[in-house]
Chain A
């Protein structure tokens, strides 16, 4: 079945540091890939997505590229801010079903 494996946390960085959170997946067919972010006390919200191989999703300085050959969708940001502190979830949506498969989440803390 479908599965998503993401980098274990927690991750602690200083402000303006470079961020990478690794995500790899296993799926049949051609899934869409997503990164969701969850701020304290809130529900998950979409950060970015990519629907086919080699697509790059980007939003708020975050980027991720859909790599079919390595079945990966790593999240990156060049310079993190304290306000980026949150839990980040990688997810896939297989086109033969309506439900998504989520990773376990990675907690990011950015210190001033």
Chain B
């Protein structure tokens, strides 16, 4: 199994530019999570999906951030316009319910390190 795949691994952009981060969850997983990690704020949950439907986006910092999951094997997190304070490592994670009842641990991707100049 390839695990959760994220691209790009590193992104450097200038303030005001649009940034799109991509994630491919593990096949068969029905939950997908986007996190942001910084030294100051630690690990923050931005949004999560169940069966491609957004369930909780209360962690999305502002309207500049948007996330989509058009199908079970792909999700994007977009920042438009980007600002220097968006610089962070963004993680995607996926998980599944076994037997339709039991939640399981999350599997994290390697992250995208975003630097906004």
Contacts and interface: CB of A to CB of B under 8 A. Distances in A.
A102 interface: yes
Interface in B40-96: 42-43, 45, 48, 50, 55-56, 91, 93, 95
Given A46-B107, A99-B48, 14 more contacts: A34-B105, A36-B105, A41-B110, A43-B108, A44-B93, A45-B108, A49-B105, A51-B102, A89-B43, A98-B95, A98-B103, A99-B33, A102-B42, A102-B43
B108 A98 contact: no
Nearest to A48: B105
Contacts of B93: 43-44
A38 to B, nearest CB: 8
Among A32, A98, A100, max chain B CB count under 10 A is at A98
Contacts, number: 49
Given A98-B55, A99-B33, A105-B42, A43 B91 contact: yes
A42 B103 contact: no
Contacts of B50: 98
Contacts of B109: 43
A28 B45 CA distance: 20
Interface of A: 32, 34, 36, 41-46, 49, 51, 89, 93, 95, 98-100, 102, 104-105
A44 B103 contact: no
Interface string B12-54: 0000000000000000000101000000001101001010000
A93 B103 contact: yes
Contacts of B106: 44, 46, 100
A105 B35 CA distance: 14
27 contacts: A32-B103, A36-B105, A41-B110, A42-B111, A43-B4, A43-B91, A43-B108, A43-B110, A43-B111, A44-B106, A44-B108, A45-B107, A45-B108, A46-B105, A46-B106, A49-B105, A93-B105, A98-B48, A98-B97, A98-B103, A99-B45, A99-B55, A99-B56, A102-B42, A104-B42, A105-B42, A105-B43
